[in-house]
Amino acid sequence: MSDSNPSPSQELSGKQNESALTALVNSTGYPLVQENGQRKFGPPPGFKGPPPPRGCEVFVGKVPRDLYEDELVPVFQKMGTIYELRLMMDFSGTNRGFAFVTYCHRSEARRAIKELNNYEIRKGRFLGVCSSVDNCRLFVGGIPKNKVKEDIFSEMSKVTQGVVDVIVYPCAVDKTKNRGFAFVEYENHRAAAMARRKLVPGGVELWGQPIKVDWAEPEPEADEDVMSQVKKKSHYCWC
């Protein structure tokens, strides 16, 4: 199965209903390409501009192993415009029981979570839909305290790909030194995950000493509905 401009018939092999998937591709105009253990449906035909921002992706769990895009897409399209649906696949041709759906707008993702969690996709089979934690940041400990942001950025770029920023906090006692750790930001979740996979076993050293690497806790994003209520209430604050 080739990843370079495959035809629908090449892509839709496996245990799934090939004719139904081909009909879906033809009716929507969305591309359907399989790569790296997942199949991507999207982006929309003629889509221009950057991908949707963080907060537009939902995680879909408890997907029946013999259920595919021809059944998932019509359900999730009712919530808004799908930018991309990624279905995780096994080599056997069955899915791995979960998928990710990215919408063009955050409001559409919130609606999908609200209306499709516990949705009965088949008789007695209910989907689990929740917000996807698209974490792009790693915690890196064990950094020499005399290293500055530029040093850390340079070293991390040598051993991993996709580094876009480094966040360093100064020591409370000596502002010229760091606290022995930093947060490294990557261009996307995949780049961060690949970096973590490489660094977590502990075989990589920076400046001749071992480092500790793990996911940084994602910063919670304020819900737009909550923020709108805060703004409304602020008009009545006389303090």
- The 3-state secondary structure of 1-13 reads CCCCCCCHHHHCC
Instruction: Return the half-sphere exposure (C-beta side, CA atoms, 13 A cut-off) of residue 48.
Output: 1
Residue ranges of the chain that CATH labels 3.30.70.330: 8-131, 137-215
Select from 114, 176, 112 the least CA-distant residue to 149: 176
- At residue 15 the predicted structure's pLDDT band, cuts being 50, 70 and 90, is low
- Output the pLDDT for position 188: 81
Specify the range with the lowest mean pLDDT, choosing from 53-62, 70-79, 137-146, 216-225: 216-225
Mean pLDDT of 161-187: 91
- Output the pLDDT for position 53: 85
Task: Classify domain 8-131 at the CATH superfamily level.
Answer: RRM (RNA recognition motif) domain (3.30.70.330)
**172: number of Cβ within 10 Å:** 8
Is pLDDT above 80 for 28? Answer: yes
Mean pLDDT of 158-180: 92
- Please give the C-alpha separations between residue 82 and each of 36, 47, 190, in angstroms, as whole numbers: 21, 11, 20
- Please give the C-alpha separations between residue 200 and each of 167, 187, 195, 214, 239, in angstroms, as whole numbers: 19, 19, 8, 7, 50
Task: Tokens 């305290």: give the residue.
Answer: 145
Q: pTM of this prediction? A: 0.60
Give pLDDT tens digits for 187-225.
Answer: 888 788 889 888 987 778 899 889 999 888 655 444 444
Do the Cβ atoms of 68 and 87 come closer than 8 Å? yes
- Please give the torsion angle defined by the CA atoms of residues 97, 25, 43 and 129, in that order, rounded to the nearest 10 degrees: -30
Mean pLDDT of 10-26: 74
**Burial (Cβ within 10 Å: 0-12, 13-18, ≥19) of residue 44:** middle
Does domain 137-215 bear CATH number 3.30.450.20?
Answer: no
